[in-house]
Structure 1
Amino acid sequence: MNKMPERLGEETLGESLPAVGPEFPACSLAEVRSVLCASGAKFEMETVEIRGVPTRVWKNAPANFAELVRAARAHGDTEFMVLNDERVTYEAWFRAVAALAHALRDMGIEKGDRVALVMRNLPEWPVVYFAVTSIGAIIVPLNAWWTGAELSYGLTDSGAKLLVADCERMERFEGYDDALADVPYRLCSRGQSSLATGSLEDLIGTSADWADLPDWDLPDVDVAPDDRATILYTSGTTGAPKGALGTQRSSLSNILSSGYAAARAALRRGEPVPEPQKRTSLLVIPLFHATGCNASMLGTVAGGSRLIFMDKWDPLQAMEIIEREGVHATGGVPTIAWQLLEHPERGRFDLSSLEAIGYGGAPSAPELVQKIYAEFGALPGNGWGMTETCATVTTHSGEDYLNRPTSCGPPVATADLKIMDPDGREELPTGSVGELYAKGPMVVEGYWNKPEASAETFIDGWVRTGDLAYLDEEGFCFIVDRAKDIVIRGGENIYSLEVENALYEHPAVTDAAVVGIPHHTLGEEPAAVVHLAPGMMAGEDELRAFVRERLAGFKVPVRILFSEDTLPRNANGKILKKELKTMFGELEDA
């Protein structure tokens, strides 16, 4: 296998960054773990069997979602969610969750039933999410950017008994009667739809009404840590999305994983572990992503912090919110950071409250680390995880990030990483590039109703990530490439085969390949090369419109080139996509 490149952590980042002196780190990662995970400590671990595999888990993690929801009620009149003029306290949110949970039980929603949630970031989203999971039902957050066809697939594949959607998304099911026919309950929010059987407001009112709802407790349901809780869809190389089946434990592990990362950063710089403090975060990534709901929302709820939502991402509006609300943290993907950094009107706003800008889920340039600190005085942070790990596996922040700007950090204490050869038979030594495997309580049970894909991906507690990576001598992880054929556009996964299949549906297209081309703020964008059938004609705009009718807008190729010959392939018949990528570079240079 390939060996790792020269030590990337020794790159010069510029005089604007805080000095990382010879005394850093104050302690090793092993010493940090020994202190933080000691017996009786907050981050103490224990080993339990998960699906027959001994696994380290956080001993003090909530046992289930109901336990978290009840504990979060103690935050009382502290604001939890803000959207424009809407402000929701923890007490109001709890009452809405409890009222909806009882209504769901009255509908006949039982433990293990699936409830599909299709909604942009609204205060109702966390209400539905926690009401469903607190009674042991399975929440299925579908991508709010999907088309009607994509949403109908998720609805049918999950076997949802109830659909809850904002009315804009509900209307996307128009014409997909077969998918809706098997869903007896369909609740619409913030509007009316002929496709709905009722409205969410009929059950719990609007966000302004929640504080006046009855003072009920959650329904009493016996829910164990490894009971199923979530299905989050991730596109697959077969073209059909796969539902990653998360448990109560795998989702809730994120709470202590995030806390451990913050404590580790403090000890590494020689400071005492800080006391938890309430923070305000501007959440600009969708809640239907693992990062949004698991890494961001769950930690917020546990700590009694505040989430600010936006109708849609707009950097100018974001800066206004940061100044007005005193936002401490934002981010999600590198795109967000770049757009804030480069906005021509940034100087008009007081952004001094920002303490951290974190991101992950897309390639990022090492110079972004420098710019964030130099321009905002905020510490950058990133990490690595995937839908199949319910988000957090590694984290990277502070001086460690400055030292290794191309790493995604070391794993949290409950996670293990290893690098395997292409056949998955031999673990490779430190510094060797191979496929990254991850293990820990955050790994999902498998794929919903896809036993063959599950058996291929999940092996004895380990998940085959499809990422090519190496580990350095201290255990820091460096992602160097992706084994899976995927384009990541601003944090959104786009599997090439899905787009290629859409192109092949056009009668003129006989050969097609989708590749990722670099983009300054989005990381990369999808582009395509096609070969047309003899005597047939089709233009770039026509093909792009054709794909847009079938897939979400973010999956549409930004550019399409035409090849007079069939696309180049190797001896095994696989298209040589690296050669195709050069076509776009050559065009730029021309």
Structure 2
Amino acid sequence: MHDQQSPATEAPTGAAATGTGAAGAGAAALPGIAEVRAAMTAPGRLFEMDEVDVRGVRTRVWKNAPPTLREILDISRLHGDAAFLVYEGDRLSFAEHYARAAAFARALIGRYGVAKGDRVAIAMRNYPEWSVAFFGAAVAGAVVVPLNAWWTAAELEYGLADSGAKVLVADAERADRLAGALPGLGVPCVVARGDGAVPEGCEAFEDVLGDVGDPAAASLPDVAIDPDDEATIFYTSGTTGRPKGALGTHRNITTNPVSLAYGVISGGVRAGRSLEELTAPQRRVTLLSVPFFHATGCHSVLVTSALQGGTVVMMYKWDVRGALELIERERVTGFGGVPTMAWQVLTSPDFGEFDTSSLTGVSYGGAPAAPALVDKIRERLPERVPGNGYGLTETSSVTTYNGGVNYLERPESVGPPVAVCDVKVVDPSGAELPPGEVGELLIKGPNVIKGYWNKPEATAQAFVDGWFHSGDLARLDEDGFVYIVDRAKDMLIRGGENIYCAEVEAALYEHPAVADCAVIGVPHEVLGEEVGAVVVPRPGAAVSEEELRGFLGERIAGFKVPVHYWFRGEGLPRNPGGKILKTRLREELLG
């Protein structure tokens, strides 16, 4: 999936947004990014780095990162009876989760013959069983294959066949969807959240777990796992063509919590706060608004919370009022998702009815964020500073992070790369471009995945000498901050002039009547393309085409102002990661 990722948890002792701290700092006295990095990564510090060989490439790594998911699960056990997963009336403690994951790992090995390297697929909503299956399969030595729960039966069949899954763990809805195909695929299915009946040939999750026993006596199976062993296959969003399986290692996924912590904390260090203060244990409660089956939900929320001892609060599906109710009831400290979700919560007419004082931060990604969102957060949540991250499925979520004083200084940026990552911007020939020039963003680091599952040609094109070719158009400033300009395929060319959709969309979001929007190219015989805008007005607000043209004409160059407008009462089509499906929009509107 090529898009920005939201570190949707919060901060310190692990990773996510403090969301506080930088607002009042005097910019003139602030240290530079390089100075902060040197202080944070010095020998003996939490973020000390080492250098190792990863697939023939010398790579900087976090010296103190847990080597595999097994170690993260072991660490999570130390949080004992504290709540780890909250879903409606269910509350699963860290100790209970550990015991259930251990039991499931043993069942995979003993009941289904799963061996190291076998694939175990998961197809379900955000239920506690998703996490149990994920960690259980990982510590059994399997490669976990999270499948998109929104997929059709045919798409799920593709994921199972393409990955060569040996076992499927599904919720009842997905199991029913696949009931006709499972016998032909020859994949045994374990069904969670059923009503007692399961499709023929399937077993109930609780029956497979059996008697979990005393959590204090639980033990993991004895399977040797190396940091560079394969751990996950996350399928890309598949907005065009068949999705590709991004093959990640244990090192890839366990790098992310430390990278996220580094990104968040660095903003506070720049503002003059001590590393000791910023890494002091704090109770984190994250409202999960994105799926576990994408890198943000799994890497940046689930795995990070397991390491930190943070609570993950899940929803059956995204609902603004429901989110506000959970923020109040569970004393949520952080939420996020894509920028639209943050907008919806902060501009909800119900916002004032609920106690949101527990919130310490708002983090978002998955789509370009309009700088005006900062003002809305400051208005609704004084003293809190938002965080915005950038990453991709192929970079195991976080590559850059912009938070604290960094965000206040440069809200248009997604921040500098974390210390173990290198980035560069290149032209079509591969030559590196100087700061300020737009080109393709390349990324190198321990977070870059191994390649695409069973797709050697695609792997060879995208991964070269340790560098991942993101396909994203970006520029760097003199201080190394990254600015995502657009996806190459979404860039419009009108009469020879490049128009970046993100810039036009950011300007549209500044209009008080605009709740959501997307900019697309409209074919034109002479110019090649013209700019079109799909706009969702805020509830109760009215805005005309003429008004938007005049509003935008004061903010962006005339050739960038859309000449075609569509107004919709319902939301824009998005994939589960929050990315707008512009291909579908074009098909609906232009045929």
State the TM-score bracket (shorter-chain normalisation). 0.7 to 0.9
The corresponding residue for 2:205 is: 200
Shift of the alpha carbon at 1:184?
3.4
1:239 maps to 2:241: yes
8 Å Cα contact 1:280/1:308 also seen in 2: yes
Q: 2:257 aligns with which of 255, 258, 272?
A: 255
Task: Choose the corresponding residue for 1:392, options 386, 389, 398.
Answer: 398
**Which 5+ residue runs of structure 2 have no aligned equivalent?**
1-21, 492-500, 506-517, 521-529, 539-572
The residue type equivalent to 2:588 in the other structure is I
Counterpart for residue 326 of structure 2 = 321
What is residue 59 of structure 2 aligned with on the other side?
55
Looking at structure 1, the residues matched to 23 and 43 of structure 2 have their Cα atoms a distance apart, in angstroms, of 35
2:187 aligns with one of 184, 188, 191: 184
What CA distance in whole angstroms lies between the structure 2 residues aligned with 1:120 and 1:372? 29
- For residue 560 of structure 1, report the CA deviation from its aligned partner: 2.7
The one-letter amino acid of 1:268's match is: R
1:65, CA displacement in angstroms? 1.0
From 416, 419, 431, give the equivalent of 1:410: 416
Task: Give the structure 1 partner of residue 545 of structure 2.
Answer: none
- Assess if the C-alpha contact under 8 Å between 1:170 and 1:196 holds in 2: no
Query: Contact conserved, 1:204 with 1:213, CA < 8 A, in 2?
Result: no
Q: CA deviation at 1:310?
A: 0.7
Deviation of the 1:216 alpha carbon:
2.3
Please state how far the C-alpha of 1:247 moved relative to its aligned partner.
0.2
CA contact (8 A) 1:55 1:441 kept: yes
Mark the CA change 1:554 to 1:561 in structure 2 (over 3 Å): closer, same or farther: closer
Distance 1:471 1:558, change over 3 A: closer
Paired letter, 1:259: A
Partner of 1:67: 71
Find out whether 1:287 has 2:296 as its counterpart. no
* Counterpart contact for 1:390–1:442, Cα < 8 Å: yes
> 1:421-570 maps to which residues of 2 (within 5 A)?
421-424=427-430, 426-484=431-489, 517=534, 556-557=584-585, 560-561=588-589
CA distance in 1, matches of 2:212, 2:319: 29
Aligned pair partner of 1:216 in 205, 218, 224? 218
Distance 2:412 2:338 in 1: 15
The alpha carbon displacement at 1:459 in A equals 0.5
Q: Which residue of 2 aligns with 1:303?
A: 308
Report the secondary structure of 1:478's partner residue.
Answer: strand
Q: Name the CA distance, whole Å, in 1 between partners of 2:77 and 2:138.
A: 16
Q: What residue is the counterpart of 1:533 in the other structure?
A: none
The one of 115, 121, 144 aligned to 1:116:
121
Match of 1:75, SS state, is coil
Question: Which amino acid counterpart does residue 43 of structure 1 have in structure 2?
Answer: F
Residue 303 of structure 1 and its aligned partner are, at CA, apart by 0.8
Q: Quick check: 240-249 or 40-49, which moved more?
A: 40-49
> Which residues of 2 match residues 16-95 of structure 1 at below 5 A?
18-19=23-24, 21-25=26-30, 27-95=31-99
Return 339-348 or 463-472, whichever deviates more. 339-348
User: Which residue number in structure 2 is paired with residue 136 of structure 1?
Assistant: 141
Higher deviation after alignment, 400-409 or 213-222? 213-222
Looking at structure 1, the residues matched to 239 and 24 of structure 2 have their Cα atoms a distance apart, in angstroms, of: 44
SS of the equivalent of 1:264 reads helix
Do 2:233 and 2:246's aligned partners in 1 also have CA atoms closer than 8 Å? yes
Contact 1:119/1:169 (CA < 8 Å) preserved in 2? yes
Deviation string, structure 1 residues 528-570 (Cα, Å, up to 9, x no partner): xxxxxxxxxxxxxxxxxxx99xxx998553873457xxxxxxx
CA shift in 2, pair 1:237/1:282, >3 Å: closer
Shift of residue 18, structure 1, vs aligned partner: 3.9
1:251 is aligned with what amino acid? I
Q: Name the CA shift for 1:430/1:554 in 2 (closer, same or farther; >3 Å).
A: closer
* Alignment-mate amino acid for residue 417 of structure 2: P
Q: Residue 195 of structure 1: CA displacement?
A: 4.7
Other-structure match for 2:369: 364
What residue number does 2:359 align with? 354
Number of corresponding residues: 495
The structural deviation recorded for 1:29 is: 1.3
State the secondary structure of the residue aligned to 1:557.
Answer: helix
Name structure 1 gaps, 5 residues minimum: 1-16, 497-512, 522-546, 564-590
Matched, 1:99 2:103: yes
Give the RMSD, CA atoms, in angstroms. 2.9
Deviates more, 1:369-378 or 1:434-443: 369-378
Equivalent residue letter for 1:296:
V
1:460-487 CA-partner distances (Å, limit 9, x unpaired): 1110000000110110000111114599
Q: Structure 2: which amino acid aligns with 1:391? A: S
Deviation of 1:346 (Å) = 1.1
8 Å Cα contact 2:264-2:402 kept in structure 1:
no
**How far apart are residue 30 of structure 1 and its match?**
1.2
Whether contact under 8 Å (1:225, 1:247) holds in the other structure is: yes
Q: State the shift of 1:152 in Å.
A: 1.0
Q: Is the 8 A contact 1:141 1:231 kept in 2?
A: yes
CA–CA separation in structure 2 for the residues paired with 1:333 and 1:211: 40
- Amino acid across the alignment from 1:388: E
User: Which AA in structure 2 matches 1:189?
Assistant: A
Letter paired with 1:473: E
Query: CA deviation digits over 1:366-420, x for unaligned, max 9?
Result: 1001111211223211110001001000001112111111100000000000001
Query: 2:264, 2:401 within 8 Å by CA — same for their partners in 1?
Result: no
* Structure with more contact order per residue of length (Cα contacts < 8 Å, sep ≥ 6): 2
CA distance, structure 2, for counterparts of residue 210 and residue 554 of structure 1: 42
Q: Contact (CA 8 Å) 2:168, 2:190: kept in 1 or not?
A: yes
The residue type equivalent to 1:215 in the other structure is A
Contact 1:64/1:249 (CA < 8 Å) preserved in 2? yes
- The alpha carbon displacement at 1:117 in A equals 0.2
- 1:238 deviates by 6.0
Which letter does structure 1 place at the counterpart of 2:89? D
Q: Kindly, what percent of the aligned residue pairs are identical?
A: 48
| Partners of 1:115 and 1:161 within 8 A in 2 | yes
Q: Which one of 260, 266, 277 corresponds to residue 268 of structure 2?
A: 266
Deviant stretches of 4+, over 4 Å:
209-214, 485-489, 513-521, 552-556
Q: How many Å separate the matches in 1 of 2:489 and 2:206?
A: 43
Partner of 1:540: none
Separation in 2, partners of 1:554, 1:169: 24
